[in-house]
């Protein structure tokens, strides 16, 4: 199915409450009818339809002055939160971090509003939704198409980590795409500003099939600069999943965290034979269970796989950017070969400044 058809179907399902099941799913956290007109008045907008749902929110497409935006609606009474005061702190933290960010690979935040127990975040609208749209179409992504997505998210993470922000919820649902094929990281609901003078205890904050082993274990003390590697592991899970359409450590739906914790220690990922050895080397750097061996973000940016895939995907994008379906197909069909990585210089990329980042490179063991 083409992505255009998929989006049309999705729109049809959600609009005007035609699909009762979907409305039921959305109902739990949604704005009640009597607040809808209030929101339209406050934001001078019309609400078009539901476009997403997270663990903590409902996201709607709105039009304001003929410009589409995404409106993320978070209720402080969400059942998932145990304590409403802590809730408000979390939502305020999400807004504060969002306000401080400005990067081409981060979903742009425009404004926030309060309406009784609801907080509303007005965000850039990402028309193609999250990564599931692309995964539904291609099932297993080629190294090239995967490279297009992952190198863009690495740029977003380099920006965040160099500003001492840990995302803490890197996963496919939080990576979004628009019709210009811009890839952007969103959802700062669990993000944390790291104080480099502190030590940190790992926690299970995040989504557990994406958690690093040291977070699954919980409450291990690690240095402030090492904590950034927890995002890198989650990115490794996303990348492995895009390339294999499976989980590297055998996570299955409904598995408990104890079962998963066992798996993650027992299983070593198996890599698709068709991947280049440079790609496998890169993926192993992200997915290293030993935190000391795992890459920092600047190791990612200096790696030949990042450098070459940026170059390859930029060329394909430039030639096909007016037709997003064609551009994605071209990337899916382009085969990366080992010889292409010969003679790559691994000088620091100009977009990344080592010195600005979190201190010296950790000694490898």
Ligand X SMILES: Nc1ncnc2c1ncn2[C@@H]1O[C@H](COP(=O)(O)OP(=O)(O)O)[C@@H](O)[C@H]1O
Which positions are catalytic? 169
Give yes or no for residue 234 binding Mg ion (CB under 5 A).
no
Give yes or no for residue 56 binding ligand X (CB under 6 A).
yes
Structure token digits, residue 363: 């000694």
Spatial CB neighbours of 157, under 8 Å, sequence gap ≥ 6: 167, 170, 185, 231, 232, 235, 297, 300
- Cβ atoms of residues 294 and 286 within 8 Å: yes
Cα–Cα distance measured from residue 38 to residue 180, given in angstroms and rounded to the nearest whole number: 32
Least Å distance, CB 64 to ligand X, is 14
Give yes or no for residue 214 binding ligand X (CB under 6 A).
no
Give yes or no for residue 174 binding Mg ion (CB under 5 A).
yes
Residue 250: contacted member of Mg ion, ligand X, none (CB under 5 to 8 Å, by partner type): none
Strand runs labelled E in the chain: 46-53, 58-64, 67-75, 109-115, 118-124, 129-130, 165-166, 175-177, 183-185, 192-193, 199-201, 221-223
Q: Which stretch binds Mg ion (CB under 5 A): 30-38, 170-178, 231-239, 324-332?
A: 170-178
Give yes or no for residue 186 binding ligand X (CB under 6 A).
yes
| 22, 25, 54, 344: which one binds Mg ion (CB under 5 A) | 54
Give yes or no for residue 129 binding ligand X (CB under 6 A).
yes
Eight-state DSSP code of residue 254? T
Closer by beta carbon to ligand X, 125 or else 306: 125
Least Å distance, CB 155 to Mg ion, is 20
Least Å distance, CB 173 to Mg ion, is 5
Least Å distance, CB 331 to ligand X, is 21
Give yes or no for residue 112 binding ligand X (CB under 6 A).
no
Q: Which stretch binds Mg ion (CB under 5 A): 50-58, 218-226, 231-239, 349-357?
A: 50-58
Cα–Cα distance measured from residue 244 to residue 235, given in angstroms and rounded to the nearest whole number: 14
Least Å distance, CB 272 to ligand X, is 26
Cα–Cα distance measured from residue 143 to residue 236, given in angstroms and rounded to the nearest whole number: 14
Residue 185's DSSP bridge partners are: 106, 175
Give yes or no for residue 26 binding ligand X (CB under 6 A).
no
| 187, 214, 231, 299: which one binds Mg ion (CB under 5 A) | 187
Give yes or no for residue 131 binding ligand X (CB under 6 A).
no
- Cβ atoms of residues 99 and 109 within 8 Å: yes
Kindly report the backbone phi and psi dihedral angles of residue 70, in degrees, each rounded to the nearest multiple of 5, phi listed first: -100, 135
* Residue ranges that bind ligand X, judged by CB under 6 A: 51-57, 59, 70, 72, 107, 123-126, 129-130, 173-174, 176, 186-187, 189
């Amino acid at each position: 199915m083409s992505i255009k058809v998929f989006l049309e179907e999705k729109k049809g399902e959600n609009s005007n409450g035609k699909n009762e099941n979907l409305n039921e799913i959305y109902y739990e956290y949604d704005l009640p009818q009597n607040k809808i007109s209030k929101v339209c008045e406050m934001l001078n907008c019309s609400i078009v339809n539901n476009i997403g749902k997270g663990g903590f929110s409902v996201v709607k497409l709105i039009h304001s002055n003929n410009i589409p935006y995404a409106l993320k609606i978070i209720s402080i009474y969400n059942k998932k939160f145990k304590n409403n005061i802590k809730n408000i702190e979390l939502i305020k933290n999400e807004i504060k971090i969002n306000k401080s960010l400005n990067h081409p690979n981060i979903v742009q935040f425009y404004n926030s509003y309060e309406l009784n127990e609801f907080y509303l975040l007005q965000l850039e609208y990402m028309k193609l939704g999250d990564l599931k749209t692309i995964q539904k179409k291609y099932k297993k992504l080629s190294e090239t198409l995967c490279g297009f997505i992952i190198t863009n998210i690495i740029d977003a993470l380099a920006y965040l980590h160099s500003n001492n922000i840990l995302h803490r919820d890197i996963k496919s649902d939080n990576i979004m795409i628009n019709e210009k094929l811009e890839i952007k990281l969103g959802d700062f609901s669990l993000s944390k500003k790291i104080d480099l003078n502190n030590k940190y205890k790992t926690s299970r904050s995040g989504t557990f099939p994406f958690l690093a082993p040291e977070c699954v274990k919980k409450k291990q003390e690690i240095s402030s600069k090492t904590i950034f590697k927890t995002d890198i592991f989650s990115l490794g899970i996303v990348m492995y999943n895009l390339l294999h359409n499976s989980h590297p450590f055998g996570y299955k739906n409904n598995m408990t965290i104890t079962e998963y914790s066992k798996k993650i220690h027992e299983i070593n990922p198996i890599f698709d034979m068709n991947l280049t050895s440079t790609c496998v080397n890169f993926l192993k750097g992200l997915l290293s269970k030993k935190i000391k061996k795992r890459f920092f973000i600047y190791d990612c940016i200096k790696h030949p796989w990042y450098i070459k895939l940026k170059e390859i995907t930029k060329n394909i994008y430039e030639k096909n950017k007016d037709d997003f379906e064609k551009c994605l197909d071209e990337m899916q069909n382009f085969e990366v070969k080992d010889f292409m990585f010969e003679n790559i210089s691994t000088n620091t990329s100009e977009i990344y400044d080592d010195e600005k980042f979190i201190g010296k490179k950790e000694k490898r063991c």
